[in-house]
Structure 1
Amino acid sequence: MENVIEVTNLRKDFKSYSSRTGLKGAFRDLLTRNYKVVPAVNDINFLVKKGEMVGYIGENGAGKSTTIKMLTGILTPSSGQITVNGMNPHKERERFVQTIGVVFGQRSQLWWDIAVQESFRLLKKVYKVSDEDYNSHMNHVIQTLDIEPLLDKPVRKLSLGQRMRCELAAALIHNPPLLFLDEPTIGLDVLVKLKIRDFLKEINEKYQTTILLTTHDLTDIEALCERVIMLDEGKVIYDGALKNLQEKWGEGKELQFQFLEKVGVSELLNLTQGIPVKWEQDEKEQIFTASLEDNDELISQVIAKVVAAFKIKDIKINETSTEEIIRNIYEKGAV
């Protein structure tokens, strides 16, 4: 399978200026400025294969958006090499932009005062898309994203959720093989998020569209991506399967029991003696929680013993959430 994105020793440095205090300091700043070089992206390497959906995650200031801007040719790297769709994004700019789609959640590519369909027509001309290709592809996109009632409205009259669906459609007018999404679901309600997720899965399956997604909403990552690249202070600290991350850093499982009869923690401790399990009771909710390692055999043993001994009202099995796992990684500083 061919590589759509190849990044080697990529680095981007920014100069950070600091002002001196007082009037004397202001005059000195006119002559000489104090500055330091800050690496926003610090010698990172990764590959993305055709048809992959990859989550690119990190805290604010980790370097995610800076990387996306370099991959799309908006910023020039300080050093290192980038090849995207077989091209250098900076040196072959005009040909390169024909092969990518970009959605920045906080910036618009649609014209504010004209109708959405007029923006689409302008972009169709820009990308030199034929009428036949536009109609066959965009009719499907418009229908799937449910934006037909919005086409004759000016962009400024749209809600955030409506605009984001139109932005996504605009990025796909030329049916690019590679799609960059930077916070595409920021501030959206649950129904719009679900619609966008389903649509992204569909175009990935139908056209083998490669998608690089940056977001703080980890439910988007869980719903769409099998692989994640995690950034911290400009460096890649994890690149691999989301499942492996959950298995390695997930801190066991919790079994929550609610009973139809009165039960004490001491009875549950005696019942599961010899099994490495910790019991806790929420007296207000009358919920008993068994914490143990993520081992199917141990979990089955605990459930079997409890169900055989007491009448059960409800059982829940809770895994450590991805959000919690990633928070633990950043707190501990490494993977």
Structure 2
Amino acid sequence: MAPVVSLKDLKKTFRLKRKQPGLRGSIRALIDADWQTVDAVKGISLELEEGEMLAFIGPNGAGKSTTIKMLTGILHPSSGEAQVLGYVPWKQRRALSYEIGSIFGQKPQLWYHLPPVDTFELFSHIYEMDPAVFQRRKGFLIEALGLADLLNTPVRKLSLGQRMRCEIAASLLHGPRILFLDEPTIGLDVVAKQSLRDAIRTLHDEENLTIFLTSHDAGDVESLCKRVIVINHGQVIFDDRTSALKRRFLRRKIVGVRFGQPIPDDFSVRNATLLKRGTWGVKLELDTHVRPVDDLIGALMQYAPVVDLTVEDPPMEEIIREIYLAEEAVTVEHDPDARPVPGGDV
């Protein structure tokens, strides 16, 4: 089968005007402005099969959103080729829009003062849906995403997590084959993130939906996608299974614990790096290949009553930096000289 998304040496260059200081807004400023060329995407090539769930990640400014905008026909590339479901996005944008859905986490498409059901109705007319087909589709999405209690509430009164579930429903009403997700969990709390991930996974399993995801949240990548592509400075630096990414670069965990009693002087931790220590708690960095998370948590809970405990991934920027260094033949290993907390042992 032919890939549903195909990119070949896709590039995008922007020309930005840099004005001289102190002349803002004047005709002279326009005359003296310097033009700066920025290469946002520097020749990306990839293929995506139908039903695949791809994480397309990178630091801010790496070219993720620019790539998605070219794939959805919003931007024209400077050079290169791309096809999405057999369409050239920037040439056949109208026809392609009936086959794809897109969600930009910081750019809502629901009408702010209207309930979601009104936006759904509007979209059914925009996509020229048969009324019977629209009702069936709406019913399926309401059940799959748990929207029954949200439909008639104005969007402005919904929580961010509730609104994002409604955004997904709006993007999928017309039955697209590919869903582009640009930072869908940004700003959500832990519970809302997991709820949204579960909903996306359910829809993928039900309809063999192809997912093209960008995110700064390692949890999104781990829980949703089997393949990950990392870009940096507009170029692909890693393309492999998510399991390989986890094995090589998602080994570190940040463990924060607050005890129900002050920490004694003889408290220490084996095989973990101390990041921060207070009277009642500590923050530790752990390499899971050296010591499993559940082993450390078990030891901490046996040592003293635990009031609060969190386990987090390091920031995505740090993970990407490690990948970038590894691609330049710099091996990133666990630090054998990790500094323990002085004293006893956990």
TM superposition score category, shorter chain reference: 0.7 to 0.9
Q: Which residue of 1 aligns with 2:106?
A: 106
Greater gyration radius: 1
Between the aligned partners of 1:252 and 1:150, the Cα distance in structure 2 is 38
1:156 matched to 2:139: no
Deviation at 1:52, TM superposition (A): 0.5
Q: Distance in 1 between matches of 2:97 and 2:269?
A: 56
1:284–1:44 distance in 2 versus 1, CA, 3 Å: farther
Aligned twin of 2:308: none
SS of aligned partner of 1:231: strand
* 1:239 aligns to 2:239 (yes or no): yes
Aligned equivalent of 2:269: 287
Whichever residue aligns with residue 68 of structure 1, its letter is I
Q: In structure 2, what is the equivalent of residue 146 of structure 1?
A: 146
* Change in CA separation of 1:286 and 1:294 when aligned onto 2, cut-off 3 Å: closer
> Residues 21, 155 of structure 1: CA spacing in aligned structure 2 closer, same or farther, 3 A cutoff?
same
Q: Cα distance, 1:322 vs. partner?
A: 8.8
Distance change >3 Å, CA 33–CA 210, structure 1 → 2? same
Aligned 8 A contact 1:250 1:319 in 2:
no
Equivalent-residue separation in structure 2 for 1:136 and 1:251 (angstroms): 44
Match of 2:197 in 1: 197
User: Equivalent residue for 1:7?
Assistant: 7
Q: Could you tell me which residue of structure 2 aligns to residue 182 of structure 1?
A: 182
Q: Which runs of 5+ in 1 are unaligned?
A: 254-281, 304-312
1:329 is aligned to 323
Instruction: Indicate conservation of the 8 Å contact 1:246/1:322, yes or no.
Output: no
Matches of 2:50 and 2:144, distance apart in 1 = 23
Residue 170 of structure 1 corresponds to which residue in structure 2? 170
Number of corresponding residues: 292
1:202-221 to 2 correspondences below 5 Å: 202-221=202-221
Q: Deviations over 1:186-221 (max 9, x none)?
A: 111222211211111111111110000101111011
Give percent identity, aligned residues only: 42
The one-letter amino acid of 2:80's match is: G
TM-score normalised to structure 1 length? 0.77
Counterpart residue number, 1:36: 36
Q: Write the distance in 2 (CA, Å) between the matches of 1:30 and 1:292.
A: 54
Q: SS at 1:204's partner residue?
A: helix
- TM-superposed deviation, 1:139: 1.3
Distance in 2 between residues matched to 1:86 and 1:80, nearest whole Å? 16
SS in 2 for 1:112: coil
Report if the CA contact (8 A) 2:3-2:50 is conserved: yes
SS of equivalent to 1:329: helix
Instruction: Identify unmatched segments of 5+ residues in structure 2.
Output: 254-263, 273-285, 296-301, 304-310, 330-346
Please state how far the C-alpha of 1:160 moved relative to its aligned partner.
1.5
Distance verdict in 2 for CA 1:322–1:106, change over 3 Å:
closer
Letter in structure 2 aligned against 1:195: S
SS in 1 for 2:80: strand
What CA distance in whole angstroms lies between the structure 2 residues aligned with 1:132 and 1:23?
60
The answer to which structure has the higher helix fraction is 1
Deviations 1:236-290 (A, max 9, x none): 111111222333446799xxxxxxxxxxxxxxxxxxxxxxxxxxxx975443228
1-side partners of 2:92 and 2:174: how far apart?
A: 18
| Contact map agreement 1:19 1:26 (CA 8 A) in 2 | no
Please state how far the C-alpha of 1:97 moved relative to its aligned partner: 0.1
User: TM-score of the superposition, structure 2-length normalised?
Assistant: 0.75
Task: State the alpha-carbon separation in 2 of the partners of residues 183 and 230 from structure 1.
Answer: 15
The 1:20/1:98 distance shift into structure 2, 3 A limit, reads: same
Query: In the aligned structure 1, how far is the partner of 2:156 from the partner of 2:42?
Result: 39
SS, match of residue 94 in structure 2:
helix
Q: For residues 140-169 of structure 1, what are the alpha-carbon distances to aligned partners after superposition, in whole Å with 9 as ceiling and x for unaligned?
A: 211232221221122222222221111111
Q: Assess, with a 3 A threshold, how the Cα gap between structure 1 residues 137 and 320 changes in structure 2: closer, same or farther.
A: closer
Give me the whole-angstrom Cα distance separating, in 2, the residues matched to 1:116 and 1:199: 17
Q: Relative to structure 2, which stretch is displaced further, 320-329 or 155-164?
A: 320-329
- 1:279 maps to none
- The answer to whether the 8 Å contact 1:98/1:174 transfers is yes
> Structure 2: which amino acid aligns with 1:287?
V
- Equivalent AA in structure 1 for residue 21 of structure 2: T
Q: Specify the SS of the correspondent of 1:186.
A: coil
Q: In terms of mean alpha carbon deviation, does 139-148 or 322-331 score higher?
A: 322-331
2:66 partner amino acid? T
Q: Aligned partners of 1:220, 1:251: CA distance in 2, in Å?
A: 16
How far residue 40 of structure 1 moved from its aligned partner, in angstroms, is: 0.6
